[in-house]
Every structure is written in structure tokens, then in C-alpha cells.
Chains A and B, each alone.
Chain A
Amino acid sequence: MANRRHFLKLSLAAGLAAQPVFTFAKSDDLLVACPTAMSGTFSAIGKYSDLGIKLAVEQQGSVQGRTLKYRMIDTEAKPATAVRRVQEAIQQDGVRFFPGALLSAESLAMSKEIHKSGGLLITNAGADELTGVECNRSTFRWALPTYSIIQGSARPLIELLPQAKRWYTITPQYVFGEDLLRNAKALFQEKGIEHVGNSYHSLTEREFSGHLTNALASKADVLFLLNYGAQASDALRQAISFGLKEKMTIIVAAASGLEQFESLGTDICDGVYFGAVYWHTIDTAFNRTFVEQVRAKFGISPNYSLAAPYINMRMLIDAMDKAKSTEPREVIGALEGMVFEGLTGTEEVRREDHQVLRDFYLIKGKSKQNMRDKDDYADIIHSGRFFLAPEQTNCKMA
């Protein structure tokens, strides 16, 4: 049975176990950690995120007199694992800065934990809650809300194809999908579009032929895929095999990045529209330089999973320089309202909800013979900024 002496022994042991925190405090190194999926279904994200963070850290070297170091944290795409590993990084290594997260569920879970510890999270996840009802002072988002995705993808296409009045949607039944659908319905109503049907599917669905048969039977003009990643790829691949490209226009609300085009190939992507939060041919000075650097160092063109953690790290460094400090509280203050040159041009961190205001892109897949290089899968045909006013996001900054 535990007694006071035993308790004191345990306390001493706990104090010794926490030694790395004090060691860190004395060190000149500034350790940041990128919490993302390094294994499992989403391991590709981790692979590219590692390259993005690595590039930014190596380019910078040190910030405010402290040598920059980074560590990848494998969240396994599981919120519980993400929280546990973030707690370990905070308690054992004194990490306070977490740039480069990408997945929604784990970002929401980590956001609370990092906020509680007084740290700073920069995420690229899609869940609107991050800069909405669950926003907090420790969390910033470079990715775009579902409102921006729908407005930036469907609105320009509606204007491009005024005769296409009948739209069919296929939607994954979870928060991100529901939010996309809600925003799409609002846009359809505003633009006089007839929403001829929707097929919900689960997050584990890989077979879409039944849903595509529904879409075919609806005689829609446009098939709007609101799913993401591998599910969007499967739905699109199967839609092409069902001959839907010849029957209707197909648009994917949010492409997951260049690797999605590489895995699908030009035969499938040619003529298909995609919403994109990042595309490597964005014509800004910052992006052109970034693409050159990535190609020189890694021999690949950057995709979203590489670019987003890179710019998160750059934002963090810029904010530290602006704050002239590496204390999270000071850096958060510097980030709020910060205007900086980013991948998409001049970007701004909105003070009220910590959402980065920047462009969203509509791109169109091109045929193999029109590709200028092996990564030139699509042309940007529209870009623009679409954001709800801060008071409409339901963010009450904690």
C-alpha cells in the first residue's frame, strides 16, 4: 500500500523523468514537432510532410539565436494516438510548436491538448470547427474552410457552364462531407441549380458503382464529388469507367494534391475539374522559388502534403522573428493579423479566428499530349478568395 515515503520516492522519480524538459530549457536548440500520419493508410502524407518541414528547417538553420531542430510525430491517423504522442513531446521534450498537421479528427483532438499546454499548432486540416466553434488562441489554419472550397470550385464552374443546371452529389457521411454538402446546397439555391440527388457513403466505402448508377439515372449535367483522397480517386476512376465523363461534367471539390493525379493518370483526369488548395504551378514569385528549391533538393514537384507543412514552418519562423521571441505566447501574438508573402501570394492570418486568408484554385485536368512536363497534369483556370465574415464562423476565441 502506498504511504507518504513511497509517494515522495515516486515524486522524486517523476522529477528525474522530467529532466529532459530542464535540459531543453538550457539548450540552444529549438525543437519543433510535426504531428502527422507516418504509417498506415495516410502514410504518404507523412512522407511528404517530412520533406516540407526538413526543407524549411535546413534553409533557416536558426531563429532568434536558437538552432532549429525538428521531429516527426507519427499520429497513425488516430486522434487518441496523436494526443498521446503530443503529450509525450510536450512533457518529455518540452516541445511547444507543432506545425504541419493535416488530418481533421486528430487536429481537433491535438488542438485542445496543445492549447491546454500553452503551445502552438498550425494545421492544414479541413474541419471547419478548427477556426469555428472549437477555435482557440493556440490553433492556426492554413488550409481552407469548406465554404471556401465550395465557393472556389463550384461557383466558377457554374459560371463557366451556365447551361449545366442539374447537379448530383456524392458525399462521405462525416463532418467534412456534411459541411461541404451544406455549403453546396446553399450555393445551388443561390444560383438556381437543381440538386437532383445525393448519395451518402461511409468512410470505409471503396465501391461506388451503386452510387454512380444513381447519378446516371438522375440524368444530371454535373457530378460533384464531395469525397476526398483515396475515396475521391476511387469514385472518379469508377465514374470514368461507367462512361460518366461522356454524359456529364465531373468535378472533385477538393483534390488531395499532385500525388492524386500521379496515381490516377491523365486518361482519368483529362477534362475533369478539381478544387485545389495548392497547385505547384501557382504563379507567384514565392511559389516559383519554392518549386525550384524542392525540385533541386528532392527531384520532385511539391504537392500539397509537402507545401503546406513547409509554409506552416515558414509562418512560424516569420512570427518568431516578428515577435523577436520563441515564447509561444509572444509568437501567437505575432501571428495574429500577420501579413506575409506565401505560396499563393500575399496571405494574411485573420486575427478573429486564426484562419489564413488566401486563394483557392479551380484546376482542369489535361491530356497527355498537352502536358509540358511529367507533373503538368492540370491548368489553373480560376483562383479567388472566399471566406465567411468572422462573426459567421461561430468562433469565440478562447
Chain B
Amino acid sequence: MNLYLLQLVNGIGLGMIYFVLAVGLSIIFGLLRFVNFSHGAFFLLGAYGCYQLVQMGVDFWWTLLLGPLIVGVLAWLIEVFLFRKVYHFPHEIHILITVGLAMVAQEAVILYWGPVGANVSPPELLQGVVVWDSFIYPKYRLFVIGAGLALALVLGLLLEGTRLGAIVRAGSESTEMISLLGVNIQRVFAAVFALGAATAALAGVLAAPIRGVDPFMGVEVLGIAFVAVVVGGMGSFAGALAGGLLVGIVQSMMSSIWPPGASLMIYVAMALVLLLRPNGLLGRA
């Protein structure tokens, strides 16, 4: 199979991971207008949650459910007891508080698990590779593509086909209007924040067998998540998918075309998109 075709498939796989990572960030910003720099911390906690549960003998498949659930509950508590009190402050304060929270999470991980990373094996069913002609691809990464698509479908149905989705979409236009219609907007905020954090945790669980776990993984992925959101359009669910895929494909293709610039070109692509469409691929003014 052509090398560039291989890289395209690999880029789609990468892009799906970036989508799962970025979608929560996008949804939270869309509704809450809250710049959440602690998003990487939820990714980190999801990954370590998976690691800890597997160490305790829990099957990996259960961690896909338990990891996001635990982190989602934690995020809900953080929203209720901390973030809710600071939404009215300017974005600079949001950044300060969420960066602080991310640092606390990182140091807590170091205190409990130590500074050295660890490995998480994929489940037995997903170990090994799929071989088709000269195409070789890890089964686990194919599973991640499927999981990303499934999440996109579920979130799409949730946001487009349910009352909660209608409230979230309307809320992203005008929270005051939704409040005036009798919706408990604070409860919706908490639910959306918990959902966003849970998707970050799911990304962490999915990423753990690919890249292992280490205390600094949250900070490292945050940049990519923001790029995917900005490229796709801040607050746009479909934009997160488009942005994630674009970033993944650019990174993978550039690994063959110009390997030293593979990471750099992600940011060049972002700059180009913003030049042509200042609100991102699918963002609205």
C-alpha cells in the first residue's frame, strides 16, 4: 500500500484520539464560555484511573466506563464548589484557577504514583496488528478509531436529538434566555462540565495503552486539544471532530513529507485555517 495512504489511515486514527480529547473542551467553552486549562488534568486522571484499576485487577473494558465516571463525578464536584463561583470573572482569572488546578492534579499524581511513568497493556483481544497487504496497523488503534466514532455518534445524538442537547445548544447562544424559560441553568452547567471532563478522562483511558501514563501527560496534550478546538471552531461539536481529524492527518502525513516539522506543521495548519476562517472550520462568528 502507498506510504501516504498508510499515513492517511494513521492520521485518521490519531485524529480520533485528538477528537475525543478536544470535544469536551469545545462543549464546555461553547456553553459556559469558560477557558478550561485543567482539561489536561482530567485526561491525566482518566489515564491514571485506568492504570490504578488495571493494577487492582479490574478488566480494562470496565475502566472505559469507570474512569470517565469517577472523573466526571469529581469534575461535577469541582464545578459546584469552585468553578461556579468564578464564572463571572474575566477569562484571565479562569486561566489562573484552572492552571492552578492542573498543577495540583499533576503534583498529586507525583505524590501518589511517583514521577516515573508506567505502562498499561491493551486488552488481550486488542493486542497485535491487523495485516492487509503491506498495511499493518495495531488492532488497538483501530479500536480507538471505532470508539471515537461511537462517541461522536452518541454525543451527536445527545446534542442534536435530546432535550438536554437542545438546552445546551440554546444555552451556548444565550444562557439568560434559557434561564428565563425556567431551566435550572446551573444544573445544566454542572452536567455539561462533568460530561466534558468525562470525555477527557475517556481520552486518557484510551490513550494509556498507546503512550503509557506519566504525570506530565496532561500538560503535553493540552496544546493539541486547544489546536483541535481552535481549528474546528470553538464551541462546535462537529468542529472538534473536523479539527481533531485535520490535526491528526497533518501530523501523520508530514511524518513522511517533512519528519522534523511534523509537530510544527500542526500549528502552521492552525494559522492557515485561522487566516482563511477566523472562527475555525465550523465555528460561527
| Chain A residues in the interface with B (C-beta under 8 A) | 40-41, 43-44, 47, 173, 198-202, 204-207, 209-211, 213-214, 216-217, 230, 233-234, 237-238, 241-243, 247, 259, 262-265, 267-268
Contacts and interface: CB of A to CB of B under 8 A. Distances in A.
Nearest to A216: B136
A210 B10 contact: yes
A204 B222 CA distance: 13
Contacts of B119: 237, 263-265, 267-268
Interface string B94-124: 0000000000000000100011111101100
B52 interface: no
Interface of B: 3, 6-7, 10-11, 13-14, 110, 114-119, 121-122, 128-129, 131, 134, 136-138, 140-141, 209-212, 214, 216-217, 220, 251-256, 259-260, 262-264
Contacts of B220: 204, 206
Contact of A43 (B115, B128, B253, B256): B115
A243 B260 contact: no
A205 B260 CA distance: 10
Q: For the complex, would chain B's binding face be called helix, strand, loop or mixed by DSSP majority?
A: helix
Q: Is the interface of A mostly helix, strand, loop or mixed?
A: helix
Contacts, number: 114
A22 to B, nearest CB: 38
B263 A210 contact: no
Contact of A213 (B216, B217, B252): B252
| Closest CB pairs A-B (n = 7) | A210-B255, A243-B129, A200-B260, A44-B115, A199-B259, A241-B138, A210-B252
B116 A263 contact: yes
Given A238-B211, A241-B210, A214 B129 contact: no
Given A202-B260, A234-B211, A241-B140, 14 more contacts: A44-B114, A204-B220, A210-B14, A210-B251, A213-B7, A214-B3, A214-B255, A214-B259, A230-B117, A233-B117, A234-B212, A241-B141, A263-B119, A267-B119
A283 B180 CA distance: 78
A216 B137 CA distance: 10
B47 to A, nearest CB: 13
A285 B59 CA distance: 45
